[in-house]
Structure 1
Amino acid sequence: MDILLQFFINALMLGAIYALAAVAYTLVYGILEMINFAFGELFMFGAFLVVSFMLPQVSLFGVMVPMPGLPFLLAAPLAIFIVAGMGYLIERCAYRPLRFAPRLAPLITAIAVSVALQNLAQSVWGAQELAYPSFFLLEAKPIQIGGAYISMVEIAVIVTAAVVMTALHFYVKKTRMGRAMRAAAQDVEAAALMGIPVNRVIAMAFIIGSGLAALAGIFYGAVYLFAHPHMGFMPGLKAMVAAVLGGIGNIRGAMLGGIVLGFAETFGAAYLPNGSAYRDAIAFGILILLLLFRPQGLLGTRLPNRLADRGAMAFKGSASAIDAGLARLSAFFAGRDLVRYASWGILAVVAVSVFFIFPSPYWARVFVFVLIYALLASGLNIVVGFAGLLDLGFVAFWAVGSYFTSILFVEVLAKGYGVDVSSVWWLFYVNLLLGGGLAALFGMMLGYPTLRLRGDYLAIMTLGFGEIIRLVATNWVDLTRGPMGIRGIPVPSLFGYKLGSPVQLYLLGLVLLALAVFLIALMVRSYLGRAWVAIREDEAAAEAMGINTARYKLYAYSAGGFFGGVTGVFFAHSQQYISPLSFTLFENILILMLIVLGGMGTLAGPIIGAAIWVVFLEVARDMPFIQQHPELRFMALGVLLVVLMIFRPQGLLGQKRQPLMMS
Structure 2
Amino acid sequence: MDPLQKTSTWIGVALLALTVLILPMVLGALWIKVLTSAAIFALAASGVALVYAQLGLINLAQIALIGVGGWIALRLNYATDLPVTLLVIIAGGLTGVIGALFALPALRMRGLYLALVTLMVAALAQIFFNAFQFPNGGEGFWGVAQKSADAVRRPGFAQSDTAYFRYVMIALGVAFMLIGLHKSSAPGRAWAMIRQSEANAMAAGINVTFFKLWAFALSGFLAGTSGALLAGALGQLDARSFLAGEGILLFALAVVGGVFSWLGAIVAGLLYKLLPAIFNDLGLSADIAMIIFGAALMHAIMTAPEGIAGQIMGAFKKGGSDD
Query: Alpha-carbon deviations, 1:444-478, whole Å to 9, x = none?
Result: 21121112212211111111112112211211368
Q: 1: distance between equivalents of 2:13 and 2:85? A: 28
Measured after TM superposition, the shift of residue 566 of structure 1 is 1.2
Given candidates 64, 73, 87, the residue that maps to 1:405 is: 73
Q: 2: distance between equivalents of 1:407 and 1:485? A: 16
Aligned residue number for residue 222 of structure 2 = 563
Measured after TM superposition, the shift of residue 621 of structure 1 is 2.6
Determine if contact 1:386/1:600 at 8 Å carries over to the other structure.
no
Given candidates 242, 258, 261, the residue that maps to 1:583 is: 242
Aligned residue number for residue 46 of structure 1 = none
Are 1:492 and 2:151 an aligned pair?
no
Spell out the pairing of 1:529-540 with structure 2 (5 A cutoff): 529-540=188-199
Aligned residue number for residue 138 of structure 2 = none
SS at match of 2:43: helix
* Identity level (%): 25
Measured after TM superposition, the shift of residue 640 of structure 1 is 1.8
Given candidates 593, 596, 601, the residue that maps to 2:255 is: 596
Compare CA radii of gyration and give the structure with the larger one: 1
Measured after TM superposition, the shift of residue 504 of structure 1 is 1.1
Determine if contact 1:443/1:558 at 8 Å carries over to the other structure.
yes
Aligned residue number for residue 202 of structure 2 = 543
Q: 1:603 to 1:537 in 2, by over 3 A?
A: farther
Measured after TM superposition, the shift of residue 403 of structure 1 is 0.6
Alignment gaps of 5+ in structure 1: 1-333, 414-423, 658-663
Are 1:382 and 2:39 an aligned pair?
no
Aligned residue number for residue 455 of structure 1 = 111
Aligned residue number for residue 318 of structure 2 = none
Q: 2: distance between equivalents of 1:403 and 1:485? A: 17
Q: 1: distance between equivalents of 2:250 and 2:148? A: 23
Q: 2: distance between equivalents of 1:652 and 1:537? A: 24
Measured after TM superposition, the shift of residue 507 of structure 1 is 0.7
Determine if contact 2:51/2:215 at 8 Å carries over to the other structure.
yes
TM-score by length of 2: 0.85
Given candidates 438, 449, 460, the residue that maps to 2:94 is: 438
Spell out the pairing of 1:316-331 with structure 2 (5 A cutoff): none
Determine if contact 2:92/2:221 at 8 Å carries over to the other structure.
yes
Aligned residue number for residue 124 of structure 2 = 468
Alignment gaps of 5+ in structure 2: 134-140, 315-323
Spell out the pairing of 1:55-134 with structure 2 (5 A cutoff): none
Determine if contact 2:16/2:169 at 8 Å carries over to the other structure.
no
TM-score by length of 1: 0.43
Measured after TM superposition, the shift of residue 637 of structure 1 is 1.2
Q: 1:581 to 1:533 in 2, by over 3 A?
A: farther
Measured after TM superposition, the shift of residue 384 of structure 1 is 1.8
Measured after TM superposition, the shift of residue 620 of structure 1 is 2.3
Q: 2: distance between equivalents of 1:543 and 1:621? A: 51
Q: 1: distance between equivalents of 2:153 and 2:102? A: 31
Aligned residue number for residue 43 of structure 1 = none
Spell out the pairing of 1:233-632 with structure 2 (5 A cutoff): 335-351=3-19, 352-358=21-27, 360-410=28-78, 412=79, 424=81, 426-476=82-132, 479=142, 481=144, 487-494=149-156, 499-623=158-282, 627=284, 629-632=285-288
Measured after TM superposition, the shift of residue 613 of structure 1 is 4.4
Q: 1:489 to 1:540 in 2, by over 3 A?
A: farther
SS at match of 1:555: helix
Is the helix fraction higher in 1 or 2? 2
Q: 1:544 to 1:456 in 2, by over 3 A?
A: farther
Determine if contact 1:487/1:578 at 8 Å carries over to the other structure.
no
Q: How many residues align?
A: 304
Determine if contact 1:388/1:535 at 8 Å carries over to the other structure.
no
- Residue type at the aligned position of 1:582: S
Q: Which has the higher contact order (CA 8 A, sep 6+)?
A: 2
Q: 2: distance between equivalents of 1:513 and 1:486? A: 31
Q: 1:481 to 1:474 in 2, by over 3 A?
A: farther
Q: 1: distance between equivalents of 2:210 and 2:25? A: 46
Measured after TM superposition, the shift of residue 502 of structure 1 is 1.6
- Residue type at the aligned position of 2:302: I
RMSD between aligned residues: 2.6
- Residue type at the aligned position of 1:373: F
Determine if contact 1:474/1:480 at 8 Å carries over to the other structure.
no
Q: 2: distance between equivalents of 1:485 and 1:471? A: 22
- Residue type at the aligned position of 2:74: S
- Residue type at the aligned position of 1:428: V
- Residue type at the aligned position of 1:400: V
Query: Alpha-carbon deviations, 1:10-50, whole Å to 9, x = none?
Result: xxxxxxxxxxxxxxxxxxxxxxxxxxxxxxxxxxxxxxxxx
Q: 2: distance between equivalents of 1:357 and 1:598? A: 26
- Residue type at the aligned position of 1:479: W
Q: 1:390 to 1:540 in 2, by over 3 A?
A: farther
Q: 1:545 to 1:473 in 2, by over 3 A?
A: same
SS at match of 2:260: coil
Are 1:633 and 2:284 an aligned pair?
no
Q: 1:548 to 1:480 in 2, by over 3 A?
A: same
Q: 1:436 to 1:369 in 2, by over 3 A?
A: same
